[in-house]
Amino acid sequence: MRIYTRTGDKGQTGVIGGRVDKDDVRVEAYGTTDELNCFVGQTISVMTSGTMDDLRADLELVQQELFDCGSDLALLKPELRPYKVNAEMVDRLETWIDKYDAETPDITRFILPGGSQASALLHVCRTVCRRAERRVVTLSKQAEINEEVRRYLNRLSDFFFTVARTANFREGVPDVEYERSPEVFRRKSK
C-alpha cells in the first residue's frame, strides 16, 4: 500500500460521505482534534511510570476517544452511520475530574501553565482542546454535528487543567500562581 494517493493535490480531501476543500471548517475541526491527539501522545511520552500510571491510562483512552471525535466530525452525512461519541464519555470525564481534583491542594488564584514538564504539556493540551472546541462551534453553525463531541471537548479541557495540577502535585512541583490574581476560586470542601 502506498502512503500517498495524489487525490488531494488539487486542494480537496475525502471525508465520510464526500469530498471537501482542505481548508473547510469541517477539516479545521477534525484537524485540530488530531493536533490535540498528537500533544496528548507527547504528554504521555514524558510521564514517568509508577506515580503517573493511572493518568497515562486515562490519557491513552482519551486518545482513542479523540479519534472517535474526529471520525464524527468527518461525517458529512450523519445518516451514513451512528455517531461514536456519547454522553457516557462526557460523564466519565466528569468522574475523572472530580477524582483528580480531590487529590490536589485547594486553588484560590489563577495559575500559569508550567511547573513540571508533564503539567506544562497538559496545559498545551488544554489550550489546543479549547481551539478544537471553537472550531467545532463554528462547524455546528454551518452543518449538523454530533453535539456530544462539543460537550466532550468542553469537558476534556477541564480534565486537562485538573490533571495538569495533579501531575505537578505528584511530582512535588508547586503550581505557578499568577501573581496579580485576586482570590477567584472557592476552596474545596473536603
Residues whose CB falls within 8 Å of the CB of residue 24, separated by 6 or more in sequence, listed in order: none
pLDDT score of 100: 98
Considering 43-52, 74-83, 89-98, the range whose residues carry the highest mean pLDDT is 89-98
Q: What percent of the chain has pLDDT over 90?
A: 74
User: How far does Cα 14 stand from its chain's mean position?
Assistant: 24
Residue 19: the pLDDT is 87
Q: pLDDT: is 57 or 22 the higher one?
A: 57
pLDDT band at 160; cut points 50, 70, 90 = very high
When the pLDDT of each residue in the chain is averaged and rounded to a whole number, the result is 93
What pLDDT does 116 receive?
Answer: 95
126-128-134-137 Cα dihedral, nearest 10 degrees: -90
pLDDT of residue 187: 61
Record the pTM.
Answer: 0.93
Domain boundaries, the chain: 12-100+115-168
Class of the CATH-defined domain 12-100+115-168: mainly alpha
189 has pLDDT over 70 = no
Over range 109-116, report the average pLDDT: 92
Candidates 55, 95, 98, 82; CA nearest to 148 is 82
Compute the average pLDDT of residues 162-189.
87
pLDDT tens track for 30-59: 999 999 999 999 999 999 889 999 999 999
What average pLDDT does the segment 147-176 reach? 97
Residues 41, 62: contact at Cβ < 8 Å? no
**Who's near 180: CB < 8 A, 6+ residues apart?**
none
Section 92-108 average pLDDT: 95
CB 20 within 8 A of CB 28: no
